[in-house]
Amino acid sequence: MLVYIAIAVLVLFFIFTFLYVFREYERAVVFTLGRFSSVKGPGLIIIVPIIQQLVRIDLRTIVMDVPPQDIISHDNVSVRVSAVVYFRVVDPERAVIQVENYSMAVSQLSQTTLRSVLGQHDLDEMLAERNKLNAHIQKILDEHMDTWGIKVSMVEIKHIDLNESMIRAIAKQAEAERERRAKVIHADGELQASHKLLEAAQVLAHEPQALQLRYLQTLSNIAEEKNSTIVFPVPIELFKMFNRV
């Protein structure tokens, strides 16, 4: 009786030890006598004791934070940049065989690529063209990680931190830019006004009646302001008469 019980215990031990249940998002990379044999799952998987071993791989998208990196931009500005990388395993075989620890490899490659790419751009480009930089970093990571069986679905730059002196300098630059635009707009307005005044002067020079009407309108405006002194404009033709004499 004891022998039967011992046999039953051994059978149950082997069943629970070498029977595996994998979820829908999991795969098993199976090695037979040290050589790759197959990728199994999901569902129930049976492993031959001693002869076979397996490595469990998660196929879900992994969100990895890239720690803040000290970067010197192309215009020699020191910034600290952090990012987040979204990736997933698409080929469990290569993710196990081609790289020892794919999570660590992704983290290190993401940090070096972030420093390399952003160091080639000016600070203004980092602040204004994040989508373009995200796509560039994603493309580089995707190309390198393809041999590992990993797909990078998205890269996002989270924070670009500047020191206080640089923030003040940027604020001064923005204020100077606003003043420059205001002066340009004012100068354009003066230029347009001078063109209109020139056109009006040409019309008045060729039409004496229009000039007289302008005189009358000026007198009307002066009268409405209730000034104690009224200046009467003298027609130019009057001076021409004196010159003739």
Answer yes or no: are the C-beta atoms of 32 and 51 closer than 8 Å: yes
In a domain, 184, yes or no: no
Instruction: Give backbone dihedrals phi and psi of 65, rounded to 5 degrees, phi first.
Output: -80, 130
Same domain, 7 and 91: no
For the record, the structure tokens of 13 come out as 């031990």
Same domain, 52 and 83: no
Q: Please tell me the distance from the alpha carbon of residue 166 to that of residue 176, in angstroms, as a whole number.
A: 15
In a domain, 194, yes or no: no
pLDDT tens digit sequence for 106-122: 999 999 999 999 999 98
Q: What is the per-residue pLDDT for 226? A: 59
In a domain, 193, yes or no: no
Same domain, 47 and 131: no
Same domain, 79 and 133: yes
Lowest mean pLDDT among 10-24, 40-54, 167-181, 206-220: 206-220
Instruction: Give backbone dihedrals phi and psi of 228, rounded to 5 degrees, phi first.
Output: -80, -20
Reported pTM = 0.67
Structural domain count of the chain: 3
Same domain, 14 and 52: yes
Nearest to 89 by CA among 177, 149, 13, 25: 149
Here the CATH number for the domain that contains residue 150 is 3.30.479.30
Same domain, 54 and 67: no
Same domain, 216 and 232: yes
Q: How confident is the model at residue 234 (pLDDT cuts 50, 70, 90)?
A: low
pLDDT tens digit sequence for 121-145: 988 888 889 999 999 999 999 999 9
Same domain, 29 and 45: yes
Same domain, 32 and 107: no
Q: Of 58, 89, 104, which residue constitutes the final position of a domain?
A: 58
In a domain, 180, yes or no: no
Q: Please tell me the distance from the alpha carbon of residue 136 to that of residue 154, in angstroms, as a whole number.
A: 11
Widest CA span of the chain, in angstroms?
A: 152
> Dihedral of the CA atoms 176, 180, 181, 182 (nearest 10)?
100
Q: What is the residue range of 152's domain?
A: 62-162
DSSP state letters, the chain: -HHHHHHHHHHHHHHHHHEEEE-TTEEEEEEETTEEEEEE-SEEEE--TTTEEEEEEE-S-EEEEEEEEEEE-TTS-EEEEEEEEEEEES-HHHHHHT-S-HHHHHHHHHHHHHHHHHTTS-HHHHHH-HHHHHHHHHHHHHHHHGGGTEEEEEEEEEEEE--HHHHHHHHHHHHHHHHHHHHHHHHHHHHHHHHHHHHHHHHHHH-HHHHHHHHHHHHHHHHHTT-S--PPPPPHHHHHHHHH-
Q: How confident is the model at residue 176 (pLDDT cuts 50, 70, 90)?
A: confident
Q: Of 58, 85, 102, which residue constitutes the final position of a domain?
A: 58
Same domain, 93 and 137: yes
